[in-house]
Amino acid sequence: MRKTVIGLNLSYFNRAAIGVVLGFISLFLPYISRDGERSSMVSTALSLMGAEGGSKITFFVYCAVLLTAVSFVLGVVNFFKTTVAGVKVWQCVQAFATAFWTFLLFASKNILEGAGLQTSFLNKYLGIGFWIGLAAAYFGLFFIMKVTQTNPGYIALTILGVIWLFPILWILLTALRAEQGYYVGYFFPKGLTFQNFINLFSNKSVLPFGRWWMNTFIVASFICVINTLIVLMTSFVLSRTRFKGRKGFMNILMIIGMFPGFMSLIAVYNILKGLGLNQSLMALIVVSAAGAAMGYHVSKGFFDTIPKAVDEAAIIDGASRLQIFTRITLPLSKSIIVYTALGSFLGAWSDYIFPSMLFGDKQSSYTAAVGLYWLTDFRRIDTYYTQFAAGAVVVALPIVILFIWLQRFYVEGLSGSVKG
Amino acid sequence: MKTEYKDRNFITIFTKGDIFSKLSYIFCGAANVRNGQIIKGFLFFLLEIAYISFMIFKGGHLLHDLTTLGENTQGMAFNEALGIYEMQQGDNSMLILLYGVVAIVISAAFAAVWLFSIFSGENARRNKAAGKHVNNFIQDVVSLTNENIRFLLLAVPVAGLSIFTVMPLIYMILMAFTNYDSEHQPPGNLFDWVGIKNFNTLFAASDRLSATFWPVLGWTLIWGFLATFTCYFGGMILAMIINSKGIKFKKFWRTIFVFTMAVPSFISLRVVATMLGERGIFNVLLQQWGFTASSLPFLTNATWARASVVIVNFWIGVPVTMLMVSGILMNIPGELYESAKIDGAGPITMFRKITFPYMWFVTTPYIISNLIGNINNFNPIFFLTGGEPHTLNYYKGAGKTDLLVTWLYKLTKDSNDYNLAATIGIIIFVISAIFTLISFSRSNALKNEEGFQ
């Protein structure tokens, strides 16, 4: 490169320029190539202007053409007079151009058919010019970002973020959709309403969703408290005290854990029947609490990191082990308590297999998970799809809020589980 | 008499103890009573009486029935006194098996109490002989909050585990050796011990069942590896992008991805399953956007369904790995990267030579436990495809995307072939155990090394 500009890394300038020039050339290469007939982006844009009617998103084509051309011009300008601000503007324009090229990948059919230029268009009829243009747009953007020393990771994060949020956006939109039914031929609803949520909680005779939600909430709250206590007690004993059979006990727990859990559900069901607990929510709490000790690993790993000297000092001061547990170990382990509680709450909140086996057809005892699954059965999905979506939102919302709020503790617990 | 000796164990307490020690082998708590722990001694004795009377009146009978699993089939039997045929209540093999297991577990629990009482008596005797203080009952109870805290804190977990985990597990393991299938359903029919026949039918090459078992096992293993490694590398790359220098609003980006993780998986999976349906939104949009002219068989064609399951699992699993890896990535010493940069290494070389070896070293145990978890991963399969598409080549119920666990679930819930389900459960256990052993031997090997260099 001929010169240096502070704040820019001009060694990538040539490659950025190649990308932009290629993008500009591709405007004149075939955009559509079908049955031997070809038409470039520019000529397509011209005939779109002449066409009557047309789709609302026809401006995508104009924008793509214009922005690519502008970006080319800016590239030339920057070649002769390179300034930080100039390149920043260039980057901005190129980013928009890239976005519109990407939109065209999804919108071409609509635009071309809307204007009557094509019928039953498929993306395989897109010509070489389009693909070169698309690739060149990303190539150019990538290297302009390199020039301005912006991390090109933003491109990947944006694309991935859209993909990751797509299903969540869909379920939110469905929950707010006024038109009922499973099959709709469009993504954005034609009318928005809160009626789905209201229906969910009002017509009790058909769908006792409010009851399901309360069932889940009650069970999950109890399990959260009881399981957390049990896990903490178990891991305290296994971590802070030494006794004969400690290793043996841990090995037994590990071996039990290697059997698939619901293999023994039938037997559990029969035992519960013997105890007279089947078909009641108590059963869920009891069974979950009974197996809670198996999840001691993470909190034990955490307790192991608390120095032994702390305990020894307390013992010299006359504290009993129970006092050490309640007054010293627990206050030191806030993050692991939150992690365990969150984990047990989540587990209970979304448990499906056991409640579904336990309650069978007794709908009034369903938990939200069982109820929602029941709603997506193919016989009911058409009637209840929007209500299912509303239910999913109502069930997921508390968890999402809890999770985002307590993310920090969760991450600490997760990395703790890796350390061993 | 000599009261102090070394290596006290179960046998030496008897051979070298006094008469009360010897007596306490038959009458639990005798040594405790002799040495001043009267209440404790009597409690042990009461427990013994309770157990013995249970065995005489009930348990012995239960254990005997366990060997036969019932002999009287339900049906019409001739009542000679009345001279008519009447409905006879038959034996219920399932309950016999269950109660037998209960009796076994109670016996095991008593054996533990028995051993405990012997050692407890011996302790009291030794303390008294040495002239030390012997705890009275109140002091024993108080000691539960201190040196014996394990009994206090582990009582509930152990009781819960024995009743709701160990007992059912023994029951199911025993079931693998019976013929409790859809044709031998109590109370109408009896089932019986058949030895290892179930394993033979599953493994033997000619049967329809084994023609289902081996492909399902194969797909389970393929799925396990694919699911683990796609999520592992995907999450690692995502974490590296988010944590790389120059990305602003790291927390915002992380939260976007955490969203999919925060939504309970049964919801997101059901939602995606409805989206992937023949008339679901994916097919609608793909046709509207002109990618395809007819709807794609995302969940109805075996190959498509398998790919869909892996991809959707990727969507759910990547954020988890991303969060986990983020912490570890920050622990990699920054000097390594700086010196690599000076030596002219590009980002790919740095990943291959620094990041990846470090991550691999730290996370091997995590990967293996993740692999085991994925082999047993019920949710993605069950909520997405339910094991479908079905095929005629498989034993009833099993489909092309079924894992061993989901097949097990179907065998218990839909077709009531409990013996096969139990057999598959044991096979899953063996697979998990093998991977755990590999993990253990590896982490032991690593501990002996100098660590990551």
Per-residue pLDDT tens over the stretch B384-412: 888 788 777 777 778 888 888 888 888 88
Provide mean pLDDT across the span A223-239.
92
Question: Which among A108, A154, A357 has CB closest to B413?
Answer: A357
Architecture, CATH, for domain A10-193: Up-down Bundle (1.20)
For chain B, what is the mean pLDDT? 82
Q: How far is the alpha carbon of A280 from chain B, nearest alpha carbon, in Å?
A: 16
Give contacts of A 293-332 with B, CB under 8 A. Answer: 293-294, 320-323, 325
Q: Does domain A201-419 have CATH number 3.40.50.2300?
A: no
pLDDT given for residue B444 in this prediction = 61
pLDDT given for residue A218 in this prediction = 92
The residues, ordered by sequence, that sit 6+ positions from A60 with a Cβ below 8 Å of its Cβ are: A100, A103, A104, A107, A111
% of chain A exceeding 90 in pLDDT = 7
Q: How far is the alpha carbon of A393 from chain B, nearest alpha carbon, in Å?
A: 9
Supply A191's token pair.
């009318």
Task: Kindly state whether A160 is in contact with chain B, defined as any CB-CB distance less than 8 angstroms.
Answer: yes
Q: Identify the burial level of A412 via C-beta atoms within 10 angstroms of its C-beta, where 0-12 means exposed, 13-18 middle and 19 or more buried.
A: middle
Which H or E run contains A31? strand A30-34
Higher pLDDT, B14 or B76: B14
DSSP string, B124-177: HHHHHHTT-----HHHHHHHTTTTTHHHHHHHHHHHHHIIIIIHHHHHHHHHTT
Residue A170 has pLDDT above 70, yes or no: yes
pLDDT given for residue B353 in this prediction = 84
Question: Which among A105, A150, A165 has CB closest to B246?
Answer: A150
A12 vs B contacts (CB less than 8 Å)? none
The residue of chain B nearest to residue A163, with distances taken between CA atoms, is B315
Which value, to the nearest 10 degrees, does the dihedral of the CA atoms of residues B91, B94, B95, B98 take?
A: 140
pLDDT given for residue A418 in this prediction = 55
* pLDDT bracket for residue B75 (50, 70, 90): low
A258 vs B contacts (CB less than 8 Å)? 372, 429, 432-433, 436
Alpha-carbon distance of B28 to B289, in angstroms, equals 81
% of chain B exceeding 90 in pLDDT = 6
Residue B84 has pLDDT above 80, yes or no: no
CA angle A195, A198, A203 (to 5 degrees): 115
Angle between helices B167-175 and B93-129 (to 10 degrees): 130
Task: Decide if B271 and A167 are in contact by the 8 Å CB cutoff.
Answer: yes
Alpha-carbon distance of A278 to A269, in angstroms, equals 7
Q: How far is the alpha carbon of B28 from chain A, nearest alpha carbon, in Å?
A: 22
Which of A411-415, B157-161, B372-376, B445-449 bottoms out in mean pLDDT, i.e. has the lowest?
A: B445-449
Question: Which among B172, B328, B421 has CB closest to A415?
Answer: B328
Positive or negative: CA dihedral A98, A99, A100, A106: positive
Chain A interface mutation, best of B148, B153, B256, highest count of A Cβ atoms under 10 Å: B153
Chain A interface mutation, best of B8, B270, B275, B416, highest count of A Cβ atoms under 10 Å: B270
Which of A383-392, B76-85, B335-344 bottoms out in mean pLDDT, i.e. has the lowest?
A: B76-85
A407 vs B contacts (CB less than 8 Å)? 254-255, 258, 323
CA A97 to chain centre: 28
Say how many C-beta atoms besides its own lie within 10 A of residue A250's C-beta.
15
ipTM of predicted assembly, 2 dp: 0.85
* pLDDT bracket for residue A415 (50, 70, 90): low
pLDDT given for residue B76 in this prediction = 64
Of A306, A287, A314, the closest CA to residue A230 belongs to: A287
Question: Which among A263, A349, A388 has CB closest to B422?
Answer: A263
B198 vs A contacts (CB less than 8 Å)? none
pLDDT given for residue B453 in this prediction = 41
Task: Decide if A164 and B164 are in contact by the 8 Å CB cutoff.
Answer: no
B283-321 pLDDT tens trace: 888 888 878 878 788 888 888 989 999 999 999 889 888
What DSSP character marks residue A84? H
pLDDT given for residue A420 in this prediction = 41
pLDDT given for residue B87 in this prediction = 66
The residues, ordered by sequence, that sit 6+ positions from B384 with a Cβ below 8 Å of its Cβ are: B269, B272, B273, B276, B299, B308, B309, B312, B401
Provide mean pLDDT across the span A128-138.
87
DSSP string, A281-298: HHHHHHHHHHHGGGG-HH
Strands B84-88 and B75-79: antiparallel
Question: Which among B166, B256, B289 has CB closest to A256?
Answer: B166
Which of A158-172, A348-362, B7-21, B373-387 bottoms out in mean pLDDT, i.e. has the lowest?
A: B7-21
Domain ranges of chain A: 10-193, 201-419
Chain B interface mutation, best of A163, A259, A352, highest count of B Cβ atoms under 10 Å: A259
Question: Which among B101, B257, B365 has CB closest to A420?
Answer: B365
* pLDDT bracket for residue A224 (50, 70, 90): very high
Residue A115 has pLDDT above 80, yes or no: no
Residue B450 has pLDDT above 50, yes or no: no
Return the residue matching tokens 């253990």: B440
Q: How far is the alpha carbon of B77 from chain A, nearest alpha carbon, in Å?
A: 29
Q: What is the pTM of this model?
A: 0.84
The residues, ordered by sequence, that sit 6+ positions from B2 with a Cβ below 8 Å of its Cβ are: B16
Residue B222 has pLDDT above 60, yes or no: yes
A385 vs B contacts (CB less than 8 Å)? 274
Higher pLDDT, B256 or A227: A227
Q: What per-residue string of b and e applies to A174-212 under the rule 16 or more CB within 10 Å gives b?
A: bbbbeeeebebeeeebeeeeebbbebbbeeeeebbbebb
* pLDDT bracket for residue A205 (50, 70, 90): low
Return the residue matching tokens 């030596």: B343
* pLDDT bracket for residue A234 (50, 70, 90): very high
Span(s) in chain B for CATH 1.10.3720.10? 199-447
Question: Which among B166, B244, B277 has CB closest to A151?
Answer: B244
Positive or negative: CA dihedral A145, A149, A154, A156: positive
Alpha-carbon distance of B93 to A268, in angstroms, equals 17
Alpha-carbon distance of A73 to A90, in angstroms, equals 9
Task: Decide if A256 and B165 are in contact by the 8 Å CB cutoff.
Answer: yes
Residue A184 has pLDDT above 80, yes or no: no
A73-107 pLDDT tens trace: 888 888 888 888 888 888 888 899 899 888 888 88
Number of A/B CB contacts below 8 angstroms equals 280
Residue B359 has pLDDT above 90, yes or no: no
A389 vs B contacts (CB less than 8 Å)? 271
Question: Which among B95, B315, B365 has CB closest to A164?
Answer: B315
The residue of chain A nearest to residue B170, with distances taken between CA atoms, is A264
Residue A251 has pLDDT above 70, yes or no: yes
* pLDDT bracket for residue B191 (50, 70, 90): confident
Q: How far is the alpha carbon of A366 from chain B, nearest alpha carbon, in Å?
A: 15
Question: Which among B149, B253, B376 has CB closest to A322?
Answer: B149
CATH topology of domain B199-447: MetI-like fold (1.10.3720)
* pLDDT bracket for residue B447 (50, 70, 90): low
The residues, ordered by sequence, that sit 6+ positions from B409 with a Cβ below 8 Å of its Cβ are: A262, A353, B378, B382, B421
pLDDT given for residue A53 in this prediction = 67
pLDDT given for residue B1 in this prediction = 44
Task: Decide if B290 and A123 are in contact by the 8 Å CB cutoff.
Answer: yes
A160 vs B contacts (CB less than 8 Å)? 238, 257
